[in-house]
C-alpha cells in the first residue's frame, strides 16, 4: 500500500434484509484516498451513497444481511476491530460523519454548545469546562456566533444548525470527515457559505473529506476527485478536472448532461428509464438498459479498467 494512503476500501459489501428480498445497497466497492483530499461521491437517489457512508463508519442498522470487505485507515484494518476499540479510537476520533439531514437530528433538549462538547468529553476525556471552550472555538471557526452555544436547535436557522452539525464532526479534529448531503436542504447563499467553510477547513486544518451529494454542480466546489456510483457499485473514479471536462463512463456522461447550467445555453437532458432494483440487479453491466452505447459484450459484467490514472467500469474502455 502506498505510504501516503489515508483510506483504502476493498470490495466493501453491505446488504440489507427487506420485505421483498435482500437489497445489495453497497456491492463490491473499492477505492483509496490520500490525506487532505476531498473526494465527492455522486449518483442518483438510491444508488447506495448513504449506505456506503454507514458502511465505512460501521454505523449499521439492525437489518443487515451481509457486511464484508476491508477498510484500512492509515494502514490499520477496521473491519476486524472490536467495536469497543473502534468506538474509542476511530469513530468521531479519526473519522466522523455529518449524516444526511443532520441539521434536523440535533438533540432538541440539549443546548447546542453542550452537544458539540459532548464528543470530546466522551472520546477524549475532557473536563466539561475545557470541552465547552473547545466547542466555542469550533463555533467561531464554522461561523456560528459564540453566544449561540447557549441556544437550543429550534432557535437556530437551518444554515446555523447545519454549521453546528459540522462543528460537532470537527471538534475532535478527525482526519477524515464524511458529509452526507450537507447542503441539499439549504438555501443558495447558505449553501455557498457552507461550501466556503469546507474549503477553508480543508486548507487550514488539512482535513480530508468524503462529500456525498446528488448535486453535481455543488460537488465541483470541493472535489479533488469524483467517484460515480450506480446501482450499488462504483462505475467511475477520476480527478475532478478531467472528470468535469469529459467523463468516461456513459452513465457519468448522461448524468453530467442532465445538469442545468446557468452560464451556458445547452439544454439539459434526462436519462430515460430507471436504475435497476438492487434486490435482483442484472448480471451484466447494470447500466445496460439505459445505455446508448450498449453492445454484445455488455451482457457480461465489465471489470474496472484503468485509463491514464482514471478508473472506469465499462467495456468501451477495455
Partner 1 sequence: MTVEKQLNEATPAVFKKGKDREVLLSIRDLRVWFELRRFGFGHAGYVRAVDGVSLDLHRGETIAVVGESGCGKSSLMKAILGLHKPTEGEIIFDGKNINEVGQAGLNWYRSQVGYVQQDPYGALPPFMSIERILEEPLIINGVSSKQERRDRIMKALEEVKLTPQAEFLPKFPHQISGGQQQRIVIARAMILQPRLIVADEPVSMLDASVRVEILRLMSALQESHDLAVIYITHDLSTVRYFSERIFVMYAGQIIEKAEVDSLLAKQMHPYSEALLAATSDPDADNALTFKQVPPGEPPSLVKPPEGCRFHPRCPYIIEGVCDVKMPPEFEPVPSHYTLCWLHDPEQN
Ligand X SMILES: Nc1ncnc2c1ncn2[C@@H]1O[C@H](COP(=O)(O)OP(=O)(O)OP(=O)(O)O)[C@@H](O)[C@H]1O
Residues at the contact surface with partner 1, assessed by CB under 8 A = 38, 44-45, 157-159, 187-193, 195-196, 199-200, 214-224, 240-241, 243-245, 254-256, 258-265, 267-271, 274
Residue 23 interacting partner from Mg ion, partner 1, ligand X, none (CB closer than 5 to 8 Å by kind): ligand X
Question: Applying CB under 6 A, does 57 fall inside the site for ligand X?
Answer: no
With 0-12 CB in 10 A as exposed, 13-18 as middle and 19+ as buried, what is 167? buried
Report CA Rg, the chain: 20
User: What distance in Å separates the CA atoms of residue 151 and residue 132, rounded to the nearest whole number?
Assistant: 13
> According to CB under 6 A, which residues from 171 to 230 bind ligand X?
214
Beta bridge partners of 10: 70
Of the pair 74, 274, the CB lying nearest partner 1 is at 274
Least separation, in Å, of the C-beta of 294 and ligand X? 24
- List b or e across 206-229, with b for residues whose CB sees 16 or more CB atoms inside 10 angstroms: ebbbbbbbbbbebbbbbbbbbbbb
Of the pair 175, 221, the CB lying nearest partner 1 is at 221
Going from the C-alpha of 316 to that of each of 40, 58, 303, the distances in angstroms are: 24, 35, 11
Binding site for ligand SF4 (CB under 6 A): 250, 285, 287-288, 291, 293-294, 298, 302, 314-316
User: What distance in Å separates the CA atoms of residue 315 and residue 318, rounded to the nearest whole number?
Assistant: 5
Question: Applying CB under 6 A, does 25 fall inside the site for ligand X?
Answer: yes
Which residue reads 451529494 in cell numbers? 213
In the shown chain, the binding pattern of residues 63 to 102 toward ligand X, with x for contact by CB under 6 A and - for none, equals x------------------------------------x--
Of the pair 12, 298, the CB lying nearest ligand SF4 is at 298
What the block records as the C-alpha cell of 251 is 452513465
Residues in contact with Mg ion by the rule CB under 5 A: 49-50, 100
Amino acid at each position: 500500500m502506498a505510504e501516503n494512503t489515508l483510506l483504502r476500501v476493498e470490495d466493501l459489501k453491505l446488504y440489507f434484509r427487506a420485505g421483498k428480498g435482500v437489497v445489495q445497497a453497497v456491492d463490491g466497492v473499492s477505492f483509496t484516498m490520500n490525506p487532505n483530499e476531498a473526494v465527492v461521491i455522486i449518483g442518483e437517489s438510491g444508488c447506495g451513497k448513504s449506505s456506503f457512508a454507514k458502511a465505512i463508519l460501521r454505523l449499521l442498522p439492525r437489518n443487515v444481511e451481509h457486511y464484508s470487505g476491508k477498510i484500512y485507515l492509515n494502514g490499520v484494518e477496521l473491519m476486524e476491530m472490536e467495536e469497543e476499540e473502534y468506538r474509542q479510537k476511530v469513530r468521531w476520533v479519526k473519522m466522523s460523519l455529518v449524516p444526511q439531514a443532520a441539521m434536523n437530528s440535533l438533540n432538541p433538549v440539549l443546548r447546542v454548545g453542550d452537544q458539540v462538547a459532548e464528543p470530546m468529553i466522551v472520546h477524549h476525556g475532557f473536563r466539561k469546562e475545557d470541552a465547552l471552550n473547545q466547542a466555542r472555538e469550533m463555533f467561531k471557526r464554522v461561523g456560528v456566533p459564540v453566544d449561540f452555544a447557549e441556544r437550543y436547535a429550534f432557535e437556530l436557522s437551518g444554515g446555523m444548525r447545519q454549521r453546528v452539525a459540522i462543528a460537532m464532526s470537527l471538534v475532535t479534529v478527525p482526519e477524515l470527515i464524511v458529509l452526507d448531503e450537507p447542503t441539499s436542504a439549504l438555501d443558495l447563499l447558505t449553501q455557498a457559505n457552507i461550501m466556503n467553510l469546507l474549503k477553508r477547513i480543508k486548507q487550514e486544518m488539512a482535513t480530508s473529506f468524503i462529500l456525498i451529494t446528488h448535486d453535481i454542480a455543488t460537488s465541483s466546489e470541493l472535489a479533488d476527485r469524483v467517484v460515480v456510483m450506480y446501482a450499488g457499485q462504483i462505475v467511475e473514479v477520476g480527478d475532478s478536472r478531467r472528470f468535469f471536462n469529459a467523463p468516461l463512463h456513459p452513465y457519468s456522461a448522461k448524468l453530467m448532461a442532465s445538469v442545468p447550467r446557468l452560464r451556458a445555453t445547452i439544454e439539459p437532458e434526462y436519462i430515460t428509464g430507471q436504475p435497476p432494483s438492487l434486490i435482483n440487479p442484472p448480471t451484466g453491466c447494470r447500466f445496460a438498459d439505459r445505455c446508448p452505447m450498449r453492445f454484445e459484450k455488455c451482457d457480461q459484467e465489465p471489470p474496472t479498467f484503468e485509463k491514464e490514472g482514471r478508473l472506469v467500469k465499462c467495456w468501451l474502455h477495455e
